[in-house]
Amino acid sequence: MLSVTEARERILSCFQAAEEETLPLNDCANRVLAGDVPAPHDLPLFDNSSMDGFAVRSADASLITLSVVADIPAGSVPMVTLTRGQAARIMTGAQLPNGADAVIPVEDTDFNSREAGTSAPKTVSFTKNIRSGDNVRARGVDLHAGDVVLQKGRKLKPQDLGLLAMLGFANVKVHKKPRVALLSSGDELVEVDAVLTAGKIHDSNSYALAALMQQAGAEVIRLGVAKDTRSSVEGLLQQAVAQNVDLIVTSAGVSVGAFDFIKEVIESNGRLDFWRVNMRPGKPVVFGEYNATPFIGLPGNPVSAFVGLEVFVRPTLEKLSGQLDGNRRTVNVRCDEEIESDGRESYLRARIRDENGVHFATLTGPQGSGNLLSLVQADALLIIPAGVKCVPVGQDVEAILL
């Protein structure tokens, strides 16, 4: 049986980053940059004051009282050049006048009227020492024109959008969002708003899986629930292909039950690459193509489907979306209890408690693959490596934070 790592590598080798598109900055949150971004100009672009106060020449530090020759609000261009004994009232963010090389905060002067609307005084006195550069944000201290400020493959965070706006990028080249078709399968499944009659359950996988994939940056096209018949499964997969998606994701119908048609349908309408992985939960995972569209079939049990998505689909979506910094971030956690495993690579639901910088992990109770509550209660999935049958108390393992 394939290891998780081999299976993931086999999947990832079949995908590449989606094409580029240019979007208005406002639509770029969580999108992935398609190229490096060099700064078109310095930041700040001009020497400016970091305080409300008085622009001065540090050479005048010994003078104590200066005459105020200008008033410079933010956004204006100073028309004066300060000479010996002169100061200008200046607001935060306003451009420094020529001749000035420091700003005295208004708090450190004898000018007390600080309410909005007061005009500048004729003279100003101060007691504090002044050094050149005090309270001045010099041109280019943050970055210089030509510096690469954001790199290709970065998923744009809110603060990145702020920086791009500072630099005047109204439009940004990003990768297209991966498009994924999602369907559930099983005769027992009914829609979330349907009345549960005997033997039926709500289709819950499609909600958890769609949300996870959207979080990973995908556009999800929900195709509903296929019945446990060949023709129903083929009908929905055909709809998925018609939607021109990058990937089809299904849940259930991949085990060895008498009504599990997925594997057979993939085999006879495309290519089956593998259908089992040495992991728990989630051993039956199908990878292949349905009529030339890449296909990942996850198991039906809600926790198995979730884990399969996290382990195989998320990295696929990250690669498709062009993300280069998207590798799963795992942390080390210390087991609070002895953990038994069956030797497959296991993903166990655990709560994390932090103590003196150490993450301690306690399982959230029953680890049955149908028990979604224990996943809801978990902060992390512990990864017990293949071949390990027992993890003693106090041992560290890797974990995916949820």
Rounded CA gap, 382 and 174, in Å?
34
How far from 390 is each of 335, 347, 350, 382, CA to CA, in Å?
11, 14, 16, 13
- CA of residue 167 relative to chain centroid, distance: 22
186 binds ligand AMP (CB under 6 A): yes
Rounded CA gap, 244 and 249, in Å?
13
Q: Return the number of the residue (109 or 206) whose C-beta is nearest ligand AMP.
A: 206
Verify cis geometry, omega within 30 degrees of 0, for the bond prior to 281. yes
Q: From start to end of 39-116, where are the E strands?
A: 48-49, 53-56, 65-72, 86-90, 102-105
Q: Return the number of the residue (235 or 257) whose C-beta is nearest ligand AMP.
A: 257
Q: Which residues pair with 81 in a beta bridge?
A: 98
User: Which listed residue (121, 178, 300, 326) binds ligand AMP by CB under 6 A?
Assistant: 300
Least CB distance to ligand AMP at residue 276 (A): 13
345 binds ligand AMP (CB under 6 A): no
Contact 388, 316 (CB under 8 A): no
User: Total residues contacting ligand AMP (rule CB under 6 A)?
Assistant: 21
299 binds, among Mg ion, ligand AMP, none (CB under 5 to 8 A by kind): ligand AMP
143 binds Mg ion (CB under 5 A): no
The mark string for 145-184 relative to ligand AMP (x by CB under 6 A, - otherwise) is: ---------------------------------------x
- What is the sign of the dihedral through the CA atoms of 250, 252, 255 and 257? negative
Rounded CA gap, 373 and 308, in Å?
17
Rounded CA gap, 347 and 349, in Å?
7
The stretch near ligand AMP (CB under 6 A) out of 103-111, 186-194, 232-240, 315-323 is: 186-194
- Nearest CA to 77 out of 97, 99, 63, 59 is that of 97
Least CB distance to ligand AMP at residue 210 (A): 11
Contact 28, 153 (CB under 8 A): no
Contact 284, 299 (CB under 8 A): yes
251 binds, among Mg ion, ligand AMP, none (CB under 5 to 8 A by kind): ligand AMP
The mark string for 255-274 relative to ligand AMP (x by CB under 6 A, - otherwise) is: x-x--x--------------
302 binds, among Mg ion, ligand AMP, none (CB under 5 to 8 A by kind): ligand AMP
Q: Return the number of the residue (301 or 321) whose C-beta is nearest ligand AMP.
A: 301
183 binds Mg ion (CB under 5 A): no
User: Which listed residue (44, 78, 178, 186) binds Mg ion by CB under 5 A?
Assistant: 186
DSSP notation for 300-339: SSHHHHHHHIIIIIHHHHHHHTT-SS-PPPEEEEEESS-E
203 binds, among ligand AMP, Mg ion, none (CB under 5 to 8 A by kind): ligand AMP
Least CB distance to Mg ion at residue 309 (A): 17
Q: Which residues pair with 149 in a beta bridge?
A: none
The mark string for 356-375 relative to ligand AMP (x by CB under 6 A, - otherwise) is: --------------x-----
188 binds ligand AMP (CB under 6 A): yes
Question: What stretches of 92-242 show up as alpha helix (H) in DSSP?
Answer: 158-166, 205-215, 230-242
Question: What stretches of 243-313 show up as alpha helix (H) in DSSP?
Answer: 262-269, 302-308
252 binds ligand AMP (CB under 6 A): yes
User: Which listed residue (240, 247, 252, 320) binds Mg ion by CB under 5 A?
Assistant: 252
281 binds ligand AMP (CB under 6 A): no
Q: Return the number of the residue (263 or 359) whose C-beta is nearest ligand AMP.
A: 263
**What residues make contact with ligand AMP under the rule CB under 6 A?**
184, 186, 188-189, 201, 203-206, 251-255, 257, 260, 299-302, 370
**What residues make contact with Mg ion under the rule CB under 5 A?**
186, 252
